[in-house]
């Protein structure tokens, strides 16, 4: 039998409280689906194999993870509890003598460091490790019954708990690590003799203790094990992520003038000494280099902003925008799949798409690059030091040479030589 680390991600539930045609684990927090957050953690810990257990709306989940080489699908035809869901993954396992970590597709924020601690605890006791947390409001979480030295005696689900057990605030996240043979041996003994009539994964703890197998608790913060079961939970998860990443950026030397009004994505990269004004939104794939300033009400996605550049206010940078050092993009300017060289300017009311703009060039107000002919996209090239007058239309494909001037109000359909003046006027 092969050894290795397997992560089983449970994603079979209906998610009925979301009231959505979209599967619960495919809803997004910080620009990334809940499931992708969890998959990123499995990558961070170097999992050899990932098995995603699907059930309701299975085709959506299968489509979302298609093409991932180390991810396998397992199907839970009937949703009969978490223990039953894990058993559904057994036939898909390749690493049957290694370790298995049970995770959840709707618990997006558990870090690789925390999972590493959980694995270490399971290995050190040659048994089972449970990820627990101290809940401010325990609600209907399962309670961990543990001794003072961290040994878990059992886990009791809320509906099966006594009033004394419900008073306990040390709760079960549901995330478990164990050796694969031990895990499935214990699961084979689980019954559905409980208030819900389900096969509880958590019953393996009591069964382990009865068999002389140790179970330990690894502690995580409550925010890290936040689960998403409703739109309210989704909003809470988004708020928790944003609060954490804002704090991280400010600690690293980024100025946020109104932190609560700025919305970041999971992969936003910002260097020190960047200033971000209020009401800025970052989509996926944004890199901001040192000393840049992002002014109010701007929206950025899939772009790079060079050191010292100024963006906005009310600017939109779309995927493929590459803004050079000390360049300026002003109010109501949209840039898409275009590179602006160092010191270039587009200060007002312009659209620059599928283009290159040379160093020090100036794009006047109301200028557009007409990049689409109804069938294909075409390129516009504007040279270094060129001046494009206000209210000009550059009909691609077209080149404007270095230090050329396009007079205001011109529609340019032919290339303009370097150093020359282009002027068009309708009669």
pLDDT at residue 417, rounded to an integer: 97
- Enumerate the H helices of 211-336 as residue ranges: 231-251
Q: How far apart are CA 376 and CA 354, in angstroms?
A: 11
pLDDT at residue 337, rounded to an integer: 98
pLDDT at residue 307, rounded to an integer: 98
Tell me the per-residue pLDDT of 7-34, one tens digit each, with 9 for 90 and over: 999 999 888 999 999 999 999 999 999 9
Check: CB of residue 83 under 8 Å from CB of residue 190: yes
Check: CB of residue 3 under 8 Å from CB of residue 98: yes
348 annotated active-site: yes
Q: How far apart are CA 15 and CA 231, in angstroms?
A: 11
Of the candidate ranges 9-18, 36-45, 189-198, 223-232, the one whose mean pLDDT is the lowest: 189-198
pLDDT at residue 374, rounded to an integer: 93
pLDDT at residue 148, rounded to an integer: 67
Peptide bond into 313 cis (omega under 30): yes
Q: How far apart are CA 322 and CA 268, in angstroms?
A: 15
Asked whether residue 282 carries a pLDDT value surpassing 70, the answer given is: yes
- The strand ranges marked E within 273-333 are 275-276, 281-282, 287-288, 293-294, 299-300, 304-305, 310-311, 316-317, 322-323, 328-331
Catalytic residue among 19, 23, 63, 348: 348
Tell me the per-residue pLDDT of 52-94, one tens digit each, with 9 for 90 and over: 999 989 999 999 999 888 899 999 988 889 999 999 999 888 7
pLDDT at residue 426, rounded to an integer: 75
Q: Which residues are within 8 A (CB) of 202 and not within 5 positions of it... i.e. 6 or more apart?
A: 82, 142, 155, 157, 172, 174
Residue that is written with structure tokens 């932190």 in the block: 259
Q: Write the burial class of residue 168 (CB in 10 Å: 0-12 exposed, 13-18 middle, 19+ buried).
A: middle
**What would the DSSP string read from start to end of 194-226?**
STT----TTHHHHHHHHTT--EEEEE--TGGG-
Check: CB of residue 277 under 8 Å from CB of residue 259: no
Helix (H, G, I), strand (E, B) or coil at 235: helix
Q: Which residues are within 8 A (CB) of 304 and not within 5 positions of it... i.e. 6 or more apart?
A: 286, 287, 289, 321, 322, 323
Q: Which residues are within 8 A (CB) of 77 and not within 5 positions of it... i.e. 6 or more apart?
A: 55, 88
Round the average pLDDT of the chain to a whole number and report it: 94
pLDDT at residue 1, rounded to an integer: 42
Helix (H, G, I), strand (E, B) or coil at 294: strand
**CA-based diameter of the chain, in Å?**
95
Q: How far apart are CA 161 and CA 143, in angstroms?
A: 8
Check: CB of residue 92 under 8 Å from CB of residue 224: no
pLDDT at residue 139, rounded to an integer: 84
Q: How far apart are CA 140 and CA 166, in angstroms?
A: 9
pLDDT at residue 62, rounded to an integer: 95
Tell me the per-residue pLDDT of 382-400, one tens digit each, with 9 for 90 and over: 999 999 999 999 999 999 9
pLDDT at residue 353, rounded to an integer: 98
CA distances, 274 to each of 118, 245, 290, 335, 352 (Å): 37, 15, 6, 20, 24
Helix (H, G, I), strand (E, B) or coil at 52: strand
Tell me the per-residue pLDDT of 94-149, one tens digit each, with 9 for 90 and over: 767 789 999 999 999 999 999 999 999 999 888 899 999 999 888 888 899 888 66
**Res. 159 pLDDT band, cuts 50 70 90:** confident
Torsion region of 252: left, alpha or beta (phi above 0 gives left; psi -120 to 50 gives alpha): alpha
């Amino acid at each position: 039998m092969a050894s290795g680390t397997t992560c089983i991600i449970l994603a079979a539930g209906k998610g009925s409280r979301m009231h959505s045609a979209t599967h619960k684990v495919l809803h997004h927090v910080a620009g990334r689906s809940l499931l992708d957050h969890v998959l990123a953690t499995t990558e961070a810990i170097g999992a050899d194999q990932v098995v995603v257990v699907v059930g309701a709306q299975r085709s959506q989940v299968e489509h979302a993870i298609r093409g991932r080489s180390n991810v396998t699908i397992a199907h839970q035809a009937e949703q009969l509890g978490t223990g039953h869901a894990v058993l559904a993954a057994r036939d898909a396992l390749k690493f049957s003598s290694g370790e298995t970590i049970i995770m959840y597709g709707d618990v997006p924020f558990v870090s690789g460091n925390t999972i590493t601690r959980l694995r270490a605890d399971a290995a050190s006791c040659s048994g089972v490790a449970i990820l627990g947390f101290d809940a401010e409001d325990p609600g209907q979480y399962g309670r961990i019954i543990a001794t003072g030295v961290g040994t878990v005696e059992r886990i009791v689900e809320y509906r099966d708990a006594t009033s004394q057990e419900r008073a306990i605030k040390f709760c079960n996240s549901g995330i478990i690590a164990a050796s694969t043979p031990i895990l499935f041996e214990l699961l084979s003994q689980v019954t559905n003799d409980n208030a819900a009539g389900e096969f509880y994964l958590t019953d393996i703890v009591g069964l382990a203790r009865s068999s002389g197998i140790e179970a330990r608790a690894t502690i995580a913060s409550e925010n890290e094990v936040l689960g998403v079961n409703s739109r309210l939970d989704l909003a809470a998860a988004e708020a928790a992520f944003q609060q954490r990443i804002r704090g991280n950026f400010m600690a690293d030397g980024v100025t946020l003038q109104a932190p609560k009004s700025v919305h970041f994505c999971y992969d936003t990269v910002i260097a020190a000494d960047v200033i971000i004004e209020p009401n800025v939104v970052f989509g996926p794939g944004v890199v901001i280099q040192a000393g840049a300033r992002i002014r109010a009400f701007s929206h950025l996605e899939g772009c790079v902003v060079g050191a010292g550049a100024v963006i906005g206010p009310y600017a939109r940078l779309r995927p493929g925008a590459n803004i050079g050092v000390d360049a300026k993009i002003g109010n109501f300017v949209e840039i898409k799949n275009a590179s602006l060289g160092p010191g270039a300017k587009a200060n007002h009311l312009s659209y620059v798409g599928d283009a290159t703009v040379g160093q020090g060039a100036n794009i006047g107000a109301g200028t557009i690059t007409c990049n689409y002919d109804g069938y294909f996209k075409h390129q516009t090239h504007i040279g270094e030091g060129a001046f494009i007058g206000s209210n000009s239309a550059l009909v691609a494909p077209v080149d404007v040479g270095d230090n050329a001037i396009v007079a205001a109000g011109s529609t340019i359909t032919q290339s303009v030589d370097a150093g020359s003046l282009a002027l068009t006027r309708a009669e």
